[in-house]
Structure 1
Amino acid sequence: MDKIQPFHLAIPVKELDETRKFYNTVLNCKEGRSSDRWVDLDFYGHQLVLHIADVHTEDNHNPVDGHSVPVPHFGVVLTMDDWHQLADRLKEANIEFIIEPYIRFKGEPGEQATMFFKDPSGNSLEFKAFQNIDQLFAK
Structure 2
Amino acid sequence: MNTRPCFHLAIPVDDIGRAREFYGGVLGLSEGRSDTLWVDWNFYGHQVVTHQTEGGSPGPAGHNPVDEHQVPVPHFGCVLSHEDFHDLAGRMRAAGAEFVIEPYQRFEGEPGEQWTMFFLDPAGNALEFKAFADESQIFAK
TM-score, length basis structure 1: 0.93
Which segments of 5 or more consecutive residues in structure 2 lack a partner in the other structure? none
Q: Report if the CA contact (8 A) 1:65-1:105 is conserved.
A: no
CA separation of 1:100 and 1:58: change in aligned 2, threshold 3 A:
closer
1:2, distance to aligned residue in structure 2 (A): 7.7
Across the two proteins, how many residue pairs are aligned to each other?
139
Q: Letter of the aligned partner of 1:84 in structure 2?
A: H
1:58, distance to aligned residue in structure 2 (A): 5.4
CA separation of 1:32 and 1:81: change in aligned 2, threshold 3 A:
same
TM-score, length basis structure 2: 0.92
Q: Letter of the aligned partner of 1:38 in structure 2?
A: W
1:89, distance to aligned residue in structure 2 (A): 1.1
For residues 95-134 of structure 1, the aligned pairs below 5 Å read 95-134=97-136
Q: Report if the CA contact (8 A) 1:39-1:50 is conserved.
A: yes
1:5, distance to aligned residue in structure 2 (A): 3.0
For residues 1-139 of structure 1, the aligned pairs below 5 Å read 4-53=4-53, 54=55, 55-57=57-59, 59-139=61-141
Q: Letter of the aligned partner of 1:126 in structure 2?
A: E
Other structure's SS at 1:70 match: strand
Q: How far apart are the structure 1 equivalents of 2:21 and 2:6?
A: 23
1:92, distance to aligned residue in structure 2 (A): 1.1
Return 103-112 or 31-40, whichever deviates more: 103-112
Q: How far apart are the structure 1 equivalents of 2:107 and 2:69?
A: 11
